[in-house]
């Protein structure tokens, strides 16, 4: 684990299923009697050479086969939260993908109760967290609406909804109904946009879905007027630098548009996305950009403060973290 040089922070873009480390995959496969299509950890790691978002998603969904019971989800969340806390994260707003488990025959109650227990255990380790249910944009919009109602019926402890998975070909417009319903329910709304899709996806997420934060959003830079709007409206961008490198959004970290984003004055936060797959947790991402771009302690402190401001925490918790 890296020596901590980064300020305490808040993580706002983290898929809990993306914290499934190879060692945990193998351990869960054994305990659940799931046969893996590779010999062990080494052979699995060799598959982490992604060409784009879809090539990652294919493995990400395949590996979820080992998650079967509430106890598995508890272990997954607790393991992540302990690692995040060790890296200086004080609060995490955690994405999960209900449909990715439902389609495998895992009951939503197992997922939700298991994660909720993991979050409770995280608090014992000094980190608070909340859940955001993400809908898979490559599945039918009606299914997203049904799943949201199931979450409501379960009284699932979610603070908001999000939108993830395959961006190209699945524009925000497809999900107007589920986002309208979430607003009615008083839930927060965020959406992945501008990761592989263009600036028009970011604009649609704001205009049609009422997104309060944009997850990734790096491609908004291609449209100066949109960028000016994001800055003026203080819409947070949850940027994930190591993810963008590993999914070939940029060739190397030095090519990442983070400095240009910071220059616009946008409310940028640094996050880890799927740390088990992309080579780093929140502290690793912060250290990597600090190193590559020579960020000052002052700039790192600004990034950490942005994450508190961009969070869905109540005012008293924000003040305590600022």
Residue 31 or 248: which CB sits closer to ligand ES4? 248
Q: How far is the CB of 15 from ligand ES4 (least distance, A)?
A: 4
Q: For residue 208, what are the CA distances in angstroms to 27, 199, 223, 237? A: 43, 14, 18, 17
The binder of 93, among ligand ES4, Zn ion, none, by C-beta within 5 to 8 A per type, is none
d(CA 8, CA 89): 6
Sign of CA dihedral 207, 210, 212, 213: negative
Residue 178 or 321: which CB sits closer to ligand ES4? 178
Residue number of the CB atom closest to ligand ES4: 164
The binder of 283, among Zn ion, ligand ES4, none, by C-beta within 5 to 8 A per type, is none
Residue 68 or 101: which CB sits closer to Zn ion? 101
**Is 255 labelled a binding residue?**
no
Using CB under 5 A as the binding rule, whether residue 17 contacts Zn ion is answered as: no
Using CB under 5 A as the binding rule, whether residue 196 contacts Zn ion is answered as: no
Strand order in the sheet with 158-164: 9-15, 89-96, 128-136, 158-164, 188-193, 213-216, 237-239, 268-270
Question: Which one-letter DSSP state was computed for residue 130?
Answer: E
d(CA 16, CA 250): 24
Sign of CA dihedral 150, 152, 157, 159: positive
Catalog residues that contact ligand ES4 under the rule CB under 6 A.
15, 18, 53, 60, 164-165, 192, 195, 243, 273-274
d(CA 263, CA 221): 11
The binder of 11, among Zn ion, ligand ES4, none, by C-beta within 5 to 8 A per type, is none
**Is 192 labelled a binding residue?**
yes
Using CB under 5 A as the binding rule, whether residue 284 contacts Zn ion is answered as: no
- Residues for the chain: how many in total? 322
Where does residue 206 rank: exposed (0-12), middle (13-18), buried (19+ CB within 10 A)? buried
State the CB neighbour count (10 A cutoff) for residue 67. Answer: 25
Residue 15 or 213: which CB sits closer to ligand ES4? 15
Q: How far is the CB of 155 from ligand ES4 (least distance, A)?
A: 25
Q: What is the DSSP string of 233-251?
A: TT--EEE-HHHHHHTTSSS
Residue 78 or 273: which CB sits closer to Zn ion? 273
**Is 216 labelled a binding residue?**
no
Residue 285 or 305: which CB sits closer to ligand ES4? 285
Q: How far is the CB of 184 from ligand ES4 (least distance, A)?
A: 25
Using CB under 5 A as the binding rule, whether residue 273 contacts Zn ion is answered as: yes
Collapsing DSSP states into helix, strand and coil, what is residue 90?
Answer: strand
The binder of 195, among ligand ES4, Zn ion, none, by C-beta within 5 to 8 A per type, is ligand ES4
**Is 15 labelled a binding residue?**
yes
Catalytic residue among 195, 200, 204, 251: 195
Q: For residue 297, what are the CA distances in angstroms to 6, 35, 205, 283, 301? A: 8, 47, 33, 14, 6
**Is 284 labelled a binding residue?**
no
* Annotation marks residue 5 as catalytic: no
Q: How far is the CB of 273 from ligand ES4 (least distance, A)?
A: 5
Query: 10 forms bridges with which residues in the sheet?
Result: 91
Binding residues for substrate: 274
Q: Which residues are annotated as a binding site?
A: 13, 15, 192, 273-274
Q: Write out the residues near Zn ion by the rule CB under 5 A.
A: 273
What are the catalytic residues? 195
- Residues of the binding site for Zn(2+): 13, 15, 192, 273
């Amino acid at each position: 684990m890296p020596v901590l040089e980064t300020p305490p922070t808040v993580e706002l873009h983290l898929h809990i299923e993306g914290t499934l480390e190879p060692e945990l995959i193998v351990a869960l496969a054994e305990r659940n009697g799931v046969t893996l299509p590779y010999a062990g950890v080494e052979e699995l790691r060799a598959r982490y050479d992604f060409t784009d978002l879809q090539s990652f998603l294919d493995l990400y969904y395949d590996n979820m086969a080992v998650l079967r019971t509430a106890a598995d989800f508890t272990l997954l969340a607790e393991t992540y939260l302990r690692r995040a806390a060790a890296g200086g994260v004080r609060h995490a707003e955690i994405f999960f993908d209900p449909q990715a488990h439902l389609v495998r025959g895992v009951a939503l109650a197992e997922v939700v109760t298991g994660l909720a227990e993991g979050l409770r255990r995280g608090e014992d380790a000094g980190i608070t967290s909340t859940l955001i249910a993400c809908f898979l944009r490559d599945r039918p919009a009606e299914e997203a609406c049904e799943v949201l109602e199931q979450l409501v019926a379960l009284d699932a402890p979610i603070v908001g909804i999000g939108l993830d998975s395959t961006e190209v070909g699945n524009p925000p417009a497809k999900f107007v109904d589920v986002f309208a319903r979430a607003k009615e329910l008083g839930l927060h709304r965020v959406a992945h946009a501008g990761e592989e899709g263009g600036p028009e996806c970011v604009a649609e997420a704001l205009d049609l879905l009422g997104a309060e934060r944009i997850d990734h959003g790096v491609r908004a830079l291609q449209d100066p007027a949109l960028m000016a709007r994001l800055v003026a409206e203080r819409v947070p961008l949850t940027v994930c630098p190591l993810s963008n490198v590993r999914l070939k959004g940029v060739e190397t970290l030095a090519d990442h548009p983070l400095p240009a984003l910071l220059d616009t004055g946008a409310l940028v936060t640094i996050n880890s996305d799927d740390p088990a797959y992309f080579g780093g947790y929140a502290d690793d991402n912060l250290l990597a950009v600090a190193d590559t771009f020579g960020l000052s302690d002052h700039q790192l402190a600004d990034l950490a403060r942005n994450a508190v401001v961009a969070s869905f925490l109540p005012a008293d918790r924000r003040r305590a973290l600022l």
